Structure 1
Amino acid sequence: MRKITWQPIVVFIGLCLIVFALATATTSLLPGKLPLGDFRGIGMVAAWVAYVYAYAIAVYRLFLVAMPLPEGEIHEGSRAEFVYHVYVLFYLIFFNSIMRSGTPPIPFMRLLYLVLGARLGHNTYSSGLIYDPLFVQIGNNSVIGESALLVPHVIEGTRLAHHPIHIGNNVTVGAHAVVMSGVTIGDGAIVSVGAVVTKGTHIGAGEIWGGVPAKLLKRRESGAVA
């Protein structure tokens, strides 16, 4: 794992100061004017925290518009590494605790993944963890099971890379399964409970995979694939 240098830390702190200033100003202008009575203190703190996260998401997305995080290998000392370190600081400080807590309702998590950059089709939900949502695309009517992991990044010693995960329509990824970087899963496929789909694997339409590492178990009947 590479050490985060001082330059991205300084940029991240600067962006955080913008977030906190905007949240404080908005809280004083909006909830601060409401007659909250005895609950005024609690209401103000809750509003401030909500605004912090709203502005953090907005600033994070604007940063990535200005300095996009590329796919593929990230070389040491490169501009991509600088962008990645600012990006990962946002996750470590703001987003990771929410994603890993399991507390927010699943429809809320869908919205969070969407605003963080995931491309999720209609009626697709995850009760697992989607790391690096920018690099995950899932079609319609698919489900990611409880405690499953989608992991588009590669961190191996000093090696660092992102390879997108593409999942089709009507796909089921079972509970506690792990789908690693560069994986493609075709329409109507199933990844069994606890399976580990290794980097770069291609799962065809209607196939059922399971095991550690995951292997093809069988193919569904053609009529079973929507």
Structure 2
Amino acid sequence: MRKISPGQIATFITILAIVLMLAAGTAWGTLGALPLGDFRGIAIVAAAAILVIVYGIAAYRLFLWLQPLPEGEIPHNSRAEFIYHVYLLFFLVLFYPLMRSGAVPVPILRLIYLALGARLGENTYSSGIILDPIFVEIGSNSIVGQFALLVPHVIEGEKLAHYPIRIGNNVTIGAHSCVLSGVTIGDGAIVATGAVVSKGTRIAPGEVWGGVPARRLQPQSQRDSSTAANS
């Protein structure tokens, strides 16, 4: 794992300080004059906490718009490495605690992932954790189960890279499963609960995969035929 430099930390702290000031100023400016009685302080703090996330997402998106993070391997001491470490600090400080808490309702979590750059189709939801959302694309009517992990990055010793995860329509990613970088999953496929899909795996439409590491179990059509024959 590469070390985050003081300059990268200073850049993030400067952005975070602006976010905190904007959140506090907006909360006080909108609620400070209202007749909230003993609840004024609580209301202002709660509003400021929400606004930190809102302004934090806006700052994160602006940063990536000005300094895009590329796919593929990130060379040592490169501009891409500087961008990545500032990007990582956004997640470590602001976003990961929210995503990992399990307390955010799934429909709101969908909005957060969309705001962070994930491409999610209509009626697609995740109650799992989507790391590096800008490198994840999921089609329509798909579900990522409870505490599943989508991990588009590679951190292996000094190696650092991002390879997109692409998931089709009507896909089920089982609870507590893990989908690693560079994976492609076709329409109608199923990843079983607790499975670990290895880097670069291609799962064809309708296939069912499970195990550690995950392997093909049977096509979706065959599974449905077996179920119908036994019913």
- Superposed CA deviations along residues 87-137 of structure 1, whole A, max 9, x for unmatched, are 000001101101011011111110110000000000001111111101000
Q: Is the 8 A contact 1:148 1:176 kept in 2?
A: yes
Where does residue 194 of structure 1 map in the other structure?
194
Task: Please list, as runs of the form range in 1=range in 2, the aligned pairs for 1:134-149 lying within 5 A after superposition.
Answer: 134-149=134-149
Q: Distance in 2 between matches of 1:103 and 1:210?
A: 28
Gaps of 5+ in 1: none
Moved more, 12-21 or 83-92: 12-21
Where does residue 99 of structure 1 map in the other structure?
99
| Runs of 4 or more above 2 Å deviation | none
Q: Distance in 2 between matches of 1:197 and 1:223?
A: 20
Q: Distance in 2 between matches of 1:198 and 1:50?
A: 36
Where does residue 176 of structure 1 map in the other structure?
176
Number of equivalences: 224
Q: Is the 8 A contact 1:118 1:135 kept in 2?
A: yes
Where does residue 115 of structure 2 map in the other structure?
115
In structure 1, what residue type is equivalent to 2:105?
A: P
- Report how far residue 211 of structure 1 moved: 1.0
Task: Please list, as runs of the form range in 1=range in 2, the aligned pairs for 1:119-138 lying within 5 A after superposition.
Answer: 119-138=119-138
Q: Is the 8 A contact 1:196 1:213 kept in 2?
A: yes
- Superposed CA deviations along residues 24-83 of structure 1, whole A, max 9, x for unmatched, are 221221111211111011111111111111111101110000000110001110000000
- Aligned: 1:51 with 2:47: no
- Aligned: 1:81 with 2:112: no
Output the TM-score relative to the length of structure 1: 0.97
CA-based RMSD of the aligned residues comes to 1.2
Where does residue 28 of structure 1 map in the other structure?
28
- Report how far residue 222 of structure 1 moved: 8.2
- Report how far residue 223 of structure 1 moved: 11
Output the TM-score relative to the length of structure 2: 0.95
Q: Secondary structure at the match of 2:32?
A: helix
Percent identity over the alignment?
A: 62
Where does residue 229 of structure 2 map in the other structure?
none
